[in-house]
Structure 1
Amino acid sequence: MNILAILVIVVSLFLFFFILRRSKGNVPPGSSGWPVIGESIKFVLLGPQKFIKERKEKYSQDAFRTSLFGQKMVVLCGPLGNKFVFANESKLLTSWWPLSVRKALFFPEFVESSTDEVSSLVYRFIRDILRPEALKQYIPVMDSMAREHVNSLWADNEIVKVFPVSKKYTFDLACRLFMGVVDVENVTRLAKHITLVNAGLFSVPIDLPGTAYNRGIKGGQLVRAELMKIITERRKEMVENKFEAAYRSDFLSRMMLVTDENGKFVSEKQITNNIIGLIFASYETTSTAVSFVLKYLSELPHIYDEVYKEQSAIAKSKSEGETLTWEDIQKMKYSWNVVCETLRFIPPALGGFREALTDFTYAGFTIPKGWKTLWTVHTTHKDPKYFIDPETFDPLRFEGKGPAPTTYVPFGGGSRMCPGREYARLEILVFLHNIVTKFKLEKVNPQEKIEFYFLAVPMEGLPVRVTRHKM
């Protein structure tokens, strides 16, 4: 009887899992890794580029299954995968962020809300504050702050660690433009808290003392508390002097005048969530881009010379003390090609996560409802099928029509293309102008190791030797 019972159980389990597998259809091949942590550790150790390359070769060039952040996940590969995601926003897929990101960034009562619900204010407001026409007024501020930054952190030093000083510049600028915060003490305190958040943003969601996830949550609490103080004080200013507040130039003051469908001002917590989203979407990614643009200029003299020639011509057209203008930015065509090639080589962001709204089929595979998907720059940017000689740094590949559609996607695509891409372009080019017109750059350690996770991190901080141009 015992043997019969065991056989019945074994057969029943076999049938159960067979039926379960059939019900899911032909899910993409891959591995789920270990319980809870999935393949997250391998993802970190290998870096996203190598992790994805190995699994494409092992499982499928179209899509493969993995498990990251405790979630079943399918990576959609190549330009067709990118196109599929971008074309099916809000139809088959919706935006999704890992729990570690949501718990670190947002108030607890918003953690279970959809990403679109939390960020709805930004997307209603973004057309006004980040469209090119609106951003023109920020160019003089960017230029003035870049000059101050160069004078204080570059001018008197023979060697500059590009990575940390670039992060300081982009964060100071974000505080000024997004929130009108210029007090050094406030900015320094916010930066310290945000460093904690960054440590746990994309981590395995295990909330134990000492874990990156735990540090990220604590950092998020501190950031939100600081922002709530700023918003409360700003609300008081608005009550006392409504006309002046209405015409403040920073994003926060303007955001506080936005009303919901019932004509009520949006709550302080909702504003805080969205300001945090703006900071994190712009700060780390832009500082990474700036740093690696300067890395390649310090390593490739022939590229530097062409950028210097272009930027010098613009500088010579300006009178003493005159700041850059929108028209000047439009003349920086070769410089922007260099930035684009840098973003192809070392993208400032991994890609984007989505959640399946329903079962759907892609490339002959079934993706079940509720599963998470990932589109990523690492399935196309270094692929020789889309970029000839992909390991050669060549800005001229962005001349004319440039790369084929959905092969070059540092800013995403479709309806959710990064709304801050024009802000990033202006910030990077303004900073580049202020460095290149003053200094010749030379890489101190050509063999410096670069660690890849969700962002690229130079292990020595990208030290460069700076030499002032002869007047």
Structure 2
Amino acid sequence: MQIVFQILVRALIGLEAGPEMQQLKQQFQEFIVGLMSLPIKLPGTRLYRSLQAKKRMARVVQRIIQEKRRRRALDGGGAPRDAIDVLMGDGSEELTDELISDNMIDFMIPAEDSVPVLITLAVKFLSECPLALQQLEEENMQLKMRKTDLGETLQWTDYMSLSFTQHVITETLRIGNIISGIMRKAVRDVEVKGHLIPKGWRVFMYFRSVHLDDMLYEDPCKFNPWRWKEKDMSTSSFTPFGGGQRLCPGLDLARLEASIFLHHLVTSFRWVAEEDHIVNFPTVRLKGGMPIRVTAKD
């Protein structure tokens, strides 16, 4: 998780690894824990500590934004190097420092939560399914050798074209249910199977109840990446990234990050995983952090 957080934070705000990165990481962990807590905003409560941590994070990010603005005023800027540079734009429709920092903190959530948990769960499921691990390794070794023979570097399209690797990621998203659900507001009266949802009501869409429905998936609790050779991912029965107009914009980035990690893991290393258990509430976690012993391949 530390690696993913550092990579994404560097891309978002241009912060390099060091004491300030570590401080930001600690504050972010305090903030993220409070996202699922009792809504009691009193000193000492989890929610209060979470909001205070977010304020401290915002000060760090805003200090970086202000420094970038000063440099831009002196040298005229240049090509964007991170997400802050992009949001600052050319000054014609300038966003406030507060709005930019809020966006950056929101974008950090996948680095701390979604993608690292996806990668961790994939390692767990592969450790428990040797046949899937073997096929994943064979597919990625073929790509690695082909690129080595041609003297080419790996590109986005190379990773995303690994069909079985994508099946592994898809099945991990389905059975892992990293994002358990989403809140939506009914914009009009809606009737669902005889039940009326009045306009204005908030509805919690619970993904786990769909992804583990035995009417939609045969043996739903079994890790089976081969099921996706025939199954369609575009239906409402598979929604780890939401759907419609609110489809998560980080869908392909999450898949790419997981693909890159799995590619280098299975082509360069072997590992032995300790037994661990998935905890699904309040968020998806591995009880022991999924420790593994890694050795380099010969």
TM-score (norm 2): 0.93
Q: Does 1:221 align with 2:50?
A: no
The corresponding residue for 1:287 is 116
Q: Does 1:265 align with 2:94?
A: yes
CA distance in 2, matches of 1:204, 1:368: 26
Find the partner of 1:324 among 154, 169, 174.
Answer: 154
Q: What SS does the aligned partner of 1:402 have?
A: coil
Asked whether the equivalents of residues 298 and 304 of structure 1 are also in contact (C-alpha less than 8 Å), the reply is yes
The corresponding residue for 2:251 is 421
Asked whether the equivalents of residues 160 and 166 of structure 2 are also in contact (C-alpha less than 8 Å), the reply is no
Asked whether the equivalents of residues 207 and 214 of structure 1 are also in contact (C-alpha less than 8 Å), the reply is yes
Find the partner of 2:281 among 440, 453, 459.
Answer: 453
Asked whether the equivalents of residues 308 and 437 of structure 1 are also in contact (C-alpha less than 8 Å), the reply is yes
State the AA in 2 paired with 1:451.
V
In the TM superposition, residue 361 of structure 1 has moved relative to its aligned partner by 3.5
Q: Does 1:392 align with 2:219?
A: no
User: Bigger shift: 205-214 or 312-321?
Assistant: 312-321
User: Matches of residues 292-307 of structure 1 in structure 2 within 5 Å?
Assistant: 292-307=121-136
Asked whether the equivalents of residues 381 and 387 of structure 1 are also in contact (C-alpha less than 8 Å), the reply is yes
Change (3 A) 1:462 1:183: closer
Paired residues in the alignment total 297
Which deviations, in whole Å up to 9, do the C-alpha atoms of 1:334-365 show, x marking residues without a partner? Answer: 01100110111102212211223454433333
Which deviations, in whole Å up to 9, do the C-alpha atoms of 1:134-185 show, x marking residues without a partner? Answer: xxxxxxxxxxxxxxxxxxxxxxxxxxxxxxxxx1111011112112211422
User: Bigger shift: 418-427 or 278-287?
Assistant: 278-287
Q: Does 1:199 align with 2:33?
A: yes
Q: Does 1:365 align with 2:195?
A: yes
In the TM superposition, residue 211 of structure 1 has moved relative to its aligned partner by 1.9
In the TM superposition, residue 401 of structure 1 has moved relative to its aligned partner by 4.5
Larger Rg belongs to: 1
State the AA in 1 paired with 2:6.
D
Asked whether the equivalents of residues 27 and 57 of structure 2 are also in contact (C-alpha less than 8 Å), the reply is yes
The corresponding residue for 1:236 is 70
Which deviations, in whole Å up to 9, do the C-alpha atoms of 1:269-324 show, x marking residues without a partner? Answer: 11111111211145310111011111112222111111111111122123499642
Asked whether the equivalents of residues 118 and 258 of structure 2 are also in contact (C-alpha less than 8 Å), the reply is yes
The corresponding residue for 1:466 is 294
- Structure 2 portions without partners, runs of 5+: none
C-alpha RMSD of matched pairs (Å): 2.0
User: Bigger shift: 275-284 or 332-341?
Assistant: 275-284
Q: Does 1:212 align with 2:46?
A: yes
Asked whether the equivalents of residues 450 and 459 of structure 1 are also in contact (C-alpha less than 8 Å), the reply is yes
Find the partner of 1:443 among 268, 273, 282.
Answer: 273
CA distance in 1, matches of 2:174, 2:187: 31
Q: Does 1:173 align with 2:7?
A: yes
User: Matches of residues 10-409 of structure 1 in structure 2 within 5 Å?
Assistant: 167-244=1-78, 247-257=79-89, 263-319=92-148, 323-403=153-233, 405-409=235-239
CA distance in 2, matches of 1:410, 1:360: 23
State the AA in 2 paired with 1:256.
M
Asked whether the equivalents of residues 34 and 50 of structure 2 are also in contact (C-alpha less than 8 Å), the reply is yes
In the TM superposition, residue 326 of structure 1 has moved relative to its aligned partner by 2.3
In the TM superposition, residue 223 of structure 1 has moved relative to its aligned partner by 1.0
CA distance in 1, matches of 2:233, 2:70: 50
Asked whether the equivalents of residues 160 and 256 of structure 2 are also in contact (C-alpha less than 8 Å), the reply is no
Asked whether the equivalents of residues 382 and 390 of structure 1 are also in contact (C-alpha less than 8 Å), the reply is yes
In the TM superposition, residue 330 of structure 1 has moved relative to its aligned partner by 3.3
Structure with more relative contact order (C-alpha pairs < 8 Å, separation 6 or more): 1
In the TM superposition, residue 193 of structure 1 has moved relative to its aligned partner by 0.3
Q: What SS does the aligned partner of 1:266 have?
A: coil
CA distance in 1, matches of 2:124, 2:248: 24
CA distance in 2, matches of 1:323, 1:182: 25
Asked whether the equivalents of residues 160 and 259 of structure 2 are also in contact (C-alpha less than 8 Å), the reply is no
State the AA in 1 paired with 2:143.
I
Percentage identity across aligned positions?
Answer: 28
CA distance in 2, matches of 1:221, 1:212: 14
In the TM superposition, residue 208 of structure 1 has moved relative to its aligned partner by 2.3
Change (3 A) 1:345 1:258: farther
Which deviations, in whole Å up to 9, do the C-alpha atoms of 1:202-237 show, x marking residues without a partner? Answer: 212101233211121111111111111111111112
In the TM superposition, residue 250 of structure 1 has moved relative to its aligned partner by 1.4
- Structure 1 portions without partners, runs of 5+: 1-166
